[in-house]
């Protein structure tokens, strides 16, 4: 079996993965794998921007307080302050990479505001901030002497315990699948960094790309890592509702610049649910829209920003304007139909701000990690900030002081009696069943009965998937299905452990918020 050795092994090519790779490159050999192209990640789809206090009238304390309030006080205060205070250094990195953030008429930063924020503190590059950042960082990474392996998917982490080695159990790399050749080989490293993004595809309706199948969380849990707060799945309130509009978000910045939510008669309804109206945090807005749709029986609600006029809209939101227009919706004249869709996982692999997990040799950063920043609900545009800051802090820890030692011999991947899959319909059927089950039973509003039904069916599905996995040769579709099922079960188990409604977890059986805020912990797999 082929084996590749490196000082630092980075899994994922969004903002967190690319930032970590760039900062680690001066200290040693970096291998970076992406299961698709480098740009096939959630970062590339981020529209709104990146939080960073820069206005003298604003402060880190105000940003931290807004974050804690949005997270229903489940966030970890010290973590929130640390990440907010390190954001300017991350913005400086992006500017150094060539990202051109939008300026106002005076030549100052055109800071914008989104739901839950008490001030304008969001850097943006038009309305395609993520795409602009991803392009600039990919250019820099390709020139940095990093071993880049696209179309390469991690199968499982390699743990010393499973190799039969004595001493503390630790990660020493991973088995990976080359999707072009179907070859499975090992990448050996004492410093593995997971930056694999979220798990939006676990739900039937999501604005995430197809790559968001929760791979990092699933492989870390199978390796024994502790998982935290997986019940908190954020549903973006305003995904464009149109039969041809797959996964297209109407950025929260549109509401930040004056759009209001209305029903099909043009009547505003958000003030009924929250005094902040359409600028309430995402959990409140998504739940309010869900309630309104159930009350009226309508398929969607609408955003109204017609009062801003075409000149303003085409300048501030050129990409969103053109996309809507391609579907026959003129933002300057028409109401924009929107619905909530699964968007962001606030929980994940329990990790510190500098990436440490419960497993030696394994770090986690970005959306797949749970650092304590988001608590029970993510404040808008805090995600890219967290990815930047935690990637930099992780590289600062590992770069000068990497885990060292002798790499063990890795046994060749065994296929046993597995044969090529002959019925792909089984995989697609199980994939569809999981996503619909999660949408129906583990969505914006939950109940004990729905969660119990989901748990029962997922247990059966995971057994069927396990049988399929060992019977047939490994394929990318099989790996994604396997990971998706693990994430679905972790979400349900976490939801069942939380006997209250807090932030993104709202249940009719426990409608009140508990007096004490506690994290939900799921221990890693011990097999």
**448-471 vs 424-441: helix crossing angle, rounded to 10:** 160
Phi and psi of 498, rounded to 5°? Answer: -95, 105
Q: Is the dihedral of CA 41, 208, 87, 72 positive or negative?
A: negative
Within the chain, which residue ranges are assigned CATH 3.50.50.60?
3-231+346-398
Please tell me the distance from the alpha carbon of residue 182 to that of residue 92, in angstroms, as a whole number: 40
CB 488 within 8 A of CB 458: yes
CA angle (173, 176, 180) in 5-degree steps:
155
CA angle (303, 309, 315) in 5-degree steps:
95
Q: Please tell me the class of the 3-231+346-398 domain.
A: alpha beta
Strand ordering across the sheet containing 147-149: 147-149, 30-33, 8-11, 192-194, 362-364
Please tell me the distance from the alpha carbon of residue 371 to that of residue 356, in angstroms, as a whole number: 10
Instruction: Please report which helix (H) or strand (E) contains residue 4, including its range.
Output: strand 3-5
For residue 401, the 8-state DSSP code is: S
**β-pair partners for 521:** 228
Terminal Cα-to-Cα distance of the chain (whole angstroms): 25
Q: Is the dihedral of CA 498, 501, 505, 507 positive or negative?
A: positive
Q: What is the mean pLDDT for each group of 10 consecutive residues in the chain (527 residues)? A: 96 98 97 96 90 96 97 97 97 96 94 91 93 96 97 98 93 97 97 97 92 97 98 94 86 92 96 93 90 90 97 94 96 96 96 98 98 96 97 97 90 89 87 94 95 97 94 95 98 98 96 96 92
Q: How far is CA 172 from the centre of its chain?
A: 25
121 catalytic residue (yes or no): no
**CATH code, 233-343:** 3.90.700.10
Instruction: Please count the other Cβ atoms lying within 10 Å of the Cβ belonging to residue 457.
Output: 16
In DSSP notation, 405-426 reads SPPPPPPPPP-TT-B----HHH
Strand ordering across the sheet containing 171-178: 3-5, 183-188, 171-178, 152-159
Q: How far is CA 137 from CA 94, 394, 415, in A?
A: 8, 18, 38
What's domain 424-512's architecture?
Answer: Up-down Bundle (1.20)
Strand boundaries in 346-390, DSSP class E: 348-350, 362-364, 369-370
Closest CA to 511 of 195, 251, 300, 287: 287
Instruction: Please count the other Cβ atoms lying within 10 Å of the Cβ belonging to residue 21.
Output: 28
CA angle (252, 256, 260) in 5-degree steps:
85
What is the pTM for the complete model shown? 0.92
CB 481 within 8 A of CB 430: yes
Of the residues 170, 282, 498, 502, only one is catalytic, namely 282
Within the chain, which residue ranges are assigned CATH 1.20.58.100?
424-512
Closest CA to 153 of 120, 124, 187: 187
In DSSP notation, 265-288 reads TS-B-GGGT-TTGGGS-HHHHHHH
Please tell me the distance from the alpha carbon of residue 289 to that of residue 292, in angstroms, as a whole number: 5
Long-range contacts of 111-114 (CB under 8 A, 24+ apart): 111/54, 111/55, 112/48, 112/49, 112/253, 112/256, 112/257, 113/256, 113/257, 113/279, 114/48, 114/49, 114/252, 114/253, 114/255, 114/256, 114/279, 114/380, 114/381
Closest CA to 386 of 102, 181, 82, 33: 82
Q: Residue count of the chain, please give it.
A: 527
Instruction: Please report which helix (H) or strand (E) contains residue 289, including its range.
Output: helix 282-296
Within the chain, which residue ranges are assigned CATH 3.90.700.10?
233-343
Instruction: Please report which helix (H) or strand (E) contains residue 442, including its range.
Output: none
CA angle (146, 149, 151) in 5-degree steps:
155
Would you state the pLDDT for residue 407?
94
């Amino acid at each position: 079996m082929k084996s590749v050795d490196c000082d630092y092994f980075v899994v994922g090519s969004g903002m967190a993965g690319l930032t970590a790779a760039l900062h680690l490159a001066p200290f040693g050999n970096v291998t970076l794998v992406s299961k698709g192209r480098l740009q096939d990640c959630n970062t590339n789809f981020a529209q709104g921007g990146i939080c960073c206090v820069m206005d003298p009238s604003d402060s880190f304390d105000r940003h931290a307080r807004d974050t804690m309030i949005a997270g229903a006080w489940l966030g970890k205060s010290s973590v929130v302050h640390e990440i907010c205070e390190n954001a300017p250094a991350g913005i400086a990195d992006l500017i150094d990479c060539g990202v051109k953030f939008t300026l106002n008429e005076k030549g100052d930063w055109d800071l914008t505001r989104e739901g839950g924020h008490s001030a304008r503190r969001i850097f943006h590059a038009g309305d395609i901030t993520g795409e602009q950042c991803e392009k600039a960082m990919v250019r820099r990474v390709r020139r940095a002497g990093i071993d880049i392996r696209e179309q390469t998917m991690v199968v499982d982490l390699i743990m010393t315990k499973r190799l039969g080695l004595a001493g503390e159990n630790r990660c020493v790399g991973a088995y990976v699948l080359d999707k072009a050749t179907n070859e499975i080989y090992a990448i050996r490293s004492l410093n593995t960094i997971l930056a694999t993004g979220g798990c939006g595809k676990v739900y039937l309706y999501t604005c995430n790309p197809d790559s968001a199948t929760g791979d990092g969380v699933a492989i870390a849990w199978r390796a024994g890592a502790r998982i935290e707060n997986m019940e908190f799945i954020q549903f973006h309130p305003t995904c464009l509702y149109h039969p041809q509009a797959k996964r297209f978000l109407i950025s929260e910045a549109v509401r930040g610049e004056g759009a209001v939510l209305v029903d099909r008669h043009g009547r505003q309804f958000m003030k009924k649910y929250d005094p902040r109206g359409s600028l309430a945090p995402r959990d409140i807005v998504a739940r309010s829209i869900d309630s309104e749709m159930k009350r009226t029986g309508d398929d969607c609600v609408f955003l109204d920003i017609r009062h801003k006029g075409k000149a303003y809209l085409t300048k501030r939101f050129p990409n969103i304007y053109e996309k809507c227009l391609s579907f026959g919706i003129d933002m300057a004249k028409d109401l924009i139909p929107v619905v909530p869709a699964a968007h962001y996982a606030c929980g994940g692999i329990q990790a510190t701000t500098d990436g440490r997990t419960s497993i030696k040799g394994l770090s986690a950063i970005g959306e797949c990690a749970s650092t304590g920043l988001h608590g029970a609900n993510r404040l808008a545009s805090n995600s890219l900030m967290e990815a930047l800051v935690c990637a930099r802090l992780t590289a600062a820890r590992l770069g000068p002081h990497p885990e060292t030692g002798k790499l063990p011999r890795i046994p060749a991947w065994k296929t046993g009696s597995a044969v090529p899959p002959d019925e792909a319909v089984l995989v697609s059927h199980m994939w569809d069943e999981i996503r619909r089950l999660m949408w129906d039973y583990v969505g914006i509003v939950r109940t004990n009965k729905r969660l119990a039904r989901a748990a029962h069916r997922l247990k059966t599905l995971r057994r069927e998937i396990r049988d399929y996995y060992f019977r047939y040769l490994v394929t990318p579709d099989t790996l994604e299905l396997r990971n998706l099922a693990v994430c679905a079960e972790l979400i349900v188990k976490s939801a069942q452990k939380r006997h209250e409604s807090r932030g993104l977890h709202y249940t009719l059986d426990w409608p009140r918020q508990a007096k004490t805020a506690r994290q939900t912990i799921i221990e890693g797999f011990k097999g």
